[in-house]
């Protein structure tokens, strides 16, 4: 198929999106009752932030040249062995812009591989963390012993920093969500990860107007998502502090907490800090998912934190799974402190590249908590298969 210029592709997809919206009704934020009803039908959502060990970032994961379903299938199998019922996965608009049909087919294949292992998926559309200048094509090699040395933002600073260009992202958001809007394999849409993160490692090249630019895109992203009326919840997670005083919320946090169907958050501190976060967020009377936690040297550990979250019926996704090209076994300070070998204690991640545990006792603790969740997930999956619609057919481009 001849490749269309990007602007022609965007205009065509906007037209397709407009046609489709005529048959869809823009939905409002779910009520508390709707959100809790949805959550009551889910298994305990427990898993990890997943990226295959062979990918340094989202682009290397999703671009056709480096798409690696063999590794993905193997590592999702290991996730199933741990009892995980869900994984959180980052998308990126650049592979969609390059090859929309191929990108959607790869996302569909990923969902099928996860479903084969009885694992659901939370898809993340945008991310403001690490390198603000993503580039398509071959990705750079990891810097030795440096945490997330190649992870990239989505969108990059060129678009994020220019609000006049934000609408260029609307076709991506609406095309991806509408394609999987009734797909039972997609559990949650995470609209924007840590929108206002100013990235100390890249501070010299970060946007000066990042907070305001991210706030503007965050608001639009919620609107765009609702216009295609997904059956799954929409969210964006708060990530700084513990949100004890509603009067002190930032403008970004206020949008995240007031627009999300379900409440999501990040915490990389000890068990007492985690408890304060959960207790404070319970005032919203909505399901709560912790979509990032577990940094061992910070005393953010599976034991006892995951046990507490299960007791509170809080979903839980630790950062990292298999030690690989993201190198998140190294701590954040690896950007300023030199490491020449494996750190004294892994920061993130659970398994080595051959699938053996970093700590066997940790894995046994995980399995003791997830065993019944997997059984519950399998029962509900059988019921949903009977009446679940399939993903939409690809529109010709």
With a cut of 60, say whether residue 287 has pLDDT above it. yes
Q: What is residue 389's predicted lDDT score, i.e. its pLDDT?
A: 55
Q: Tell me if 266 is assigned to some domain.
A: yes
Domain that holds residue 236: 44-387
Q: What is residue 1's predicted lDDT score, i.e. its pLDDT?
A: 38
For residue 323, give every residue at least 6 positions away whose Cβ sits within 8 Å of its Cβ, in sequence order, or none: 53, 329, 346, 349, 351, 352, 353, 358
Report the 3 state secondary structure along the chain: CCCCCHHHHHHHHHHHHHHHHCCCCCCCCCCHHHHHHHHHCCCCCEEEECCCCCCCCHHHHHCHHHCCHHHHHHHHHHHHHCCCCEEEEECCHHHHHHCHHHHHHHHHHHHHHHHHCCCEEEEEEEECCCECCCCCCCCCCCCCCCCCCCCECECCHHHHCCHHHHHHHHHHHHHHHHHCCCCCCEEEEEEEECCCCCCHHHHHHCCCCHHHHHHHHHHHHHHHHHHCCCCCCEECCECCCCCCCHHHCCHHHHHHHHHCCCEEEECCCCHHHHHHHHHHHHHHCCCEEEEECCEHHHCECHHHHHHHHHHCCCEEEEECCECCCCCCCCCHHHHCCCCCCCCCCCCCCCECCCCCECCHHHHHHHHHHHHHHHHHHHHHHHHHHHHCCCCCCCCCC
Quick: pLDDT tens for 152-181.
999 999 999 999 999 999 999 999 999 999
Q: What is residue 108's predicted lDDT score, i.e. its pLDDT?
A: 98
Q: Tell me if 309 is assigned to some domain.
A: yes
Q: What is residue 275's predicted lDDT score, i.e. its pLDDT?
A: 98
Q: What is residue 22's predicted lDDT score, i.e. its pLDDT?
A: 45
With a cut of 60, say whether residue 288 has pLDDT above it. yes
Q: What is residue 173's predicted lDDT score, i.e. its pLDDT?
A: 98
Give the pLDDT band of residue 372 (cuts 50, 70, 90).
Answer: confident
What pTM value is reported for the model?
A: 0.92
Q: What is residue 227's predicted lDDT score, i.e. its pLDDT?
A: 98
Give the pLDDT band of residue 394 (cuts 50, 70, 90).
Answer: low
Q: What is residue 376's predicted lDDT score, i.e. its pLDDT?
A: 72
Q: Tell me if 22 is assigned to some domain.
A: no
Quick: pLDDT tens for 16-64.
444 444 457 899 999 999 999 999 999 999 999 999 999 999 999 999 9
Q: What is residue 392's predicted lDDT score, i.e. its pLDDT?
A: 62
Quick: pLDDT tens for 308-356.
999 999 999 999 999 999 999 999 999 999 999 999 999 999 999 999 9
Q: Tell me if 23 is assigned to some domain.
A: no
Domain CATH number, residue 283 = 3.20.20.80
Q: Tell me if 294 is assigned to some domain.
A: yes
Q: Tell me if 84 is assigned to some domain.
A: yes
For the chain, report the end-to-end CA distance as a whole number of angstroms: 9
With a cut of 80, say whether residue 381 has pLDDT above it. no
Q: Tell me if 100 is assigned to some domain.
A: yes
With a cut of 70, say whether residue 102 has pLDDT above it. yes
With a cut of 50, say whether residue 371 has pLDDT above it. yes
Find tokens 């993201």 and name the residue: 326
Q: Tell me if 5 is assigned to some domain.
A: no
The count of domains in the chain is 1
Quick: pLDDT tens for 121-152.
999 999 999 999 999 999 999 999 999 999 99
Quick: pLDDT tens for 65-77.
999 999 999 999 9
């Amino acid at each position: 198929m001849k490749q269309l210029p990007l602007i022609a592709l965007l205009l065509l997809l906007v037209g397709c999106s407009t046609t489709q919206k005529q048959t869809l009704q823009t939905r409002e934020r779910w009520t508390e009752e709707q959100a809790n009803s949805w959550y009551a039908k889910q298994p305990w959502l427990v898993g990890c932030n997943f990226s295959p060990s062979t990918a340094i970032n989202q682009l290397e994961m999703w671009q056709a040249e480096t798409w690696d379903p063999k590794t993905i299938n193997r590592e999702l199998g290991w996730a199933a062995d741990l009892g995980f019922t869900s994984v959180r996965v980052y998308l990126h608009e650049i592979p969609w812009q390059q090859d929309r049909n191929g990108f959607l087919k790869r996302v569909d294949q990923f969902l099928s591989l996860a479903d084969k292992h009885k694992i659901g998926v939370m898809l993340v559309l945008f991310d403001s963390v690490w390198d603000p200048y993503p580039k398509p094509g071959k990705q750079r090699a990891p810097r030795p012993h440096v945490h997330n040395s190649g992870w990239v933002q989505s969108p990059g600073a060129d678009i994020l920093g220019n609000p006049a260009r934000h609408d260029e992202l609307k076709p991506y958001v609406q095309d991806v969500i509408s394609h999987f809007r009734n797909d039972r394999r997609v559990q949650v849409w995470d609209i924007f990860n840590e929108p206002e993160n100013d990235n100390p490692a890249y501070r010299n090249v970060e946007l000066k107007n990042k907070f305001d630019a991210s706030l503007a895109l965050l608001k639009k992203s919620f609107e765009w998502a609702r216009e295609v009326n997904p059956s799954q919840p929409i969210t964006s997670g708060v990530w700084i502090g513990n949100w004890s005083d509603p009067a002190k919320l930032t403008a970004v946090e206020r949008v995240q907490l007031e627009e999300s169907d379900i409440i999501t958050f990040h915490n990389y501190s000890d068990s007492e800090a985690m408890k304060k976060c959960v207790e404070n967020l319970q005032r919203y009377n909505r399901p709560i998912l912790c979509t990032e936690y577990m940094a061992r040297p910070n005393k953010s550990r599976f034991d006892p934190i995951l046990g507490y979250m299960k007791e509170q019926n809080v979903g839980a996704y630790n950062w990292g799974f298999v030690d690989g090209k993201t190198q998140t076994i190294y701590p954040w300070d690896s950007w300023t402190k030199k490491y020449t070998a494996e750190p004294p204690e892994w920061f993130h991640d659970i398994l080595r590249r051959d699938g053996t545990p970093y700590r066997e006792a940790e894995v046994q603790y995980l399995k003791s908590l997830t065993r019944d969740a997997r059984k519950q997930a399998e029962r509900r999956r059988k019921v949903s298969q009977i009446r679940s619609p399939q993903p939409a057919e690809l529109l010709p481009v």
